[in-house]
Amino acid sequence: MITAADECFKITSKIHGMTVKTLPQDTDKFPVIKQMVLDHVNLKQLLASV
C-alpha cells in the first residue's frame, strides 16, 4: 500500500509537472537513483505484488 499526506489529484499534478529525465549517458545519476530506490521502495513487497 502507498500512502501520502496530500490528496491524490494534487500528488498526481506534482508528479506530472516534474521534468526528470535520465538518459543512458547520465551515468553519474545511476548511483543516486539506486540509493533512492533502496531507501524508499519496499522491493520485496513490490515484487511480491506482481
What does the pLDDT look like over 7-46, one tens digit per residue? 888 878 888 877 677 889 999 999 999 999 999 999 999 9
Name the pLDDT band for 1 (thresholds 50, 70, 90): low
Write out the three cell numbers for 26.
547520465
Residues 42, 11, 17, 36, Cα dihedral to 10°: -20
Question: What's the pLDDT score for residue 35?
Answer: 95
Cut 0.85: pTM above it: no
Question: What's the pLDDT score for residue 17?
Answer: 78
Can you tell me the distance from the alpha carbon of 39 to that of 50, in angstroms, rounded to the nearest whole number?
20
The alpha carbon dihedral of 9, 11, 40, 24 has a sign of positive
CA distances from 50 to 26, 28, 46, 47 (A): 29, 30, 7, 5
Residues in the chain, how many? 50
